[in-house]
Amino acid sequence: MDEPKIDIWLTIGKWVFRGFLVLLVAGIALAACAVNAGKVAPDATADAIVVHPRSGQVGLDHADELALRGTSDTIVLLGGGTDKWPESSIECGRTYPALVVCVPFDQDNTLGQVKALNPAATEQSWDSLVVVSTDYHVRRAAATHRRCGYQSVEPSGVEDSIPIREFLKLATIEVVAFPQSFFALCGE
């Protein structure tokens, strides 16, 4: 009669070990995304600097620094001037150090933001981009832009200090969503 109890504990132990391995792999994948997310070379140029709303004011400040270095004369704020990023509304239309173009989006995810950018990018002939977002998000954002047909995409991550609870939530999202960025369907 004692043998079935041992089998149950052995089964539970196997599942706990498997769960630990999944969490370990997810943590390593997230760390790889967050560490050294990419800084743009000083002499890099692009048609536009695209700032994702996750980076907030830090991302906009970084885009200004890139524009002052001569990276581009256009900064695009995805969700700028909308309820998705209300504090950016005073930036829309600003011309120094670069023209700031605000592009609203309907889908509140990376793919939806990239799709919203496409009409403006086509109209303005933006083929090369510098993508600015938080360190943990910028690689996935850049991969999505590449998948949607931009010729040259350089990621430029900015640090983001967030509470550990929020970090764990975002880490889970990134680990699940990153592979999806390679299969994004960018058509209408």
Q: Is 175 inside a domain boundary?
A: yes
Q: Is 69 inside a domain boundary?
A: yes
Radius of gyration of the chain (CA): 20
What CATH number does the domain containing 124 carry?
A: 3.40.50
Rounded CA separation 81/91 (Å): 8
Q: Is 185 inside a domain boundary?
A: no
Predicted pLDDT at 33:
55
Q: Can you tell me the mean pLDDT for 139-166?
A: 85
- Rounded to the nearest integer, the mean pLDDT of the chain is 83
Rounded CA separation 96/165 (Å): 37
Q: Can you tell me the mean pLDDT for 87-115?
A: 90
Q: How many C-beta atoms surround the C-beta of residue 146 within 10 A?
A: 19
Residue with tokens 């539970």: 12
Q: Is 188 inside a domain boundary?
A: no
> Domain containing 158: what range?
36-180
Read off the tokens for 37.
């997310």
Sheet hosting strand 128-134, strand order edge to edge: 99-103, 74-78, 48-51, 128-134, 152-158
Q: Can you tell me the mean pLDDT for 90-111?
A: 91
Q: Is 135 inside a domain boundary?
A: yes
Q: Cβ-count burial of 184 within 10 angstroms (0-12 exposed, 13-18 middle, 19+ buried)?
A: middle
Assess whether pLDDT exceeds 60 at residue 167.
yes
More confident residue, 9 or 59: 59
Return the top range by mean pLDDT from 26-30, 101-105, 107-111, 136-140: 101-105
Lowest mean pLDDT among 12-16, 41-45, 131-135: 41-45
Q: Is 2 inside a domain boundary?
A: no
Q: What is the dihedral of CA 74, 77, 81, 84, to 10 degrees?
A: 180
Q: Is 126 inside a domain boundary?
A: yes
The count of domains in the chain is 1
Q: Which residues contact 144 (CB under 8 A, 6 or more apart)?
A: 110, 111, 114, 181, 184
**Alpha carbon of 17 to those of 3, 10, 14, 20, 40: distances in Å?**
21, 10, 5, 5, 40
Q: Is 80 inside a domain boundary?
A: yes
pTM: 0.76
Return the top range by mean pLDDT from 26-40, 103-117, 167-181: 103-117
Q: How confident is the model at residue 186 (pLDDT cuts 50, 70, 90)?
A: confident
Lowest mean pLDDT among 57-61, 64-68, 83-87, 163-167: 163-167
Q: What is the dihedral of CA 138, 124, 83, 170, to 10 degrees?
A: -10
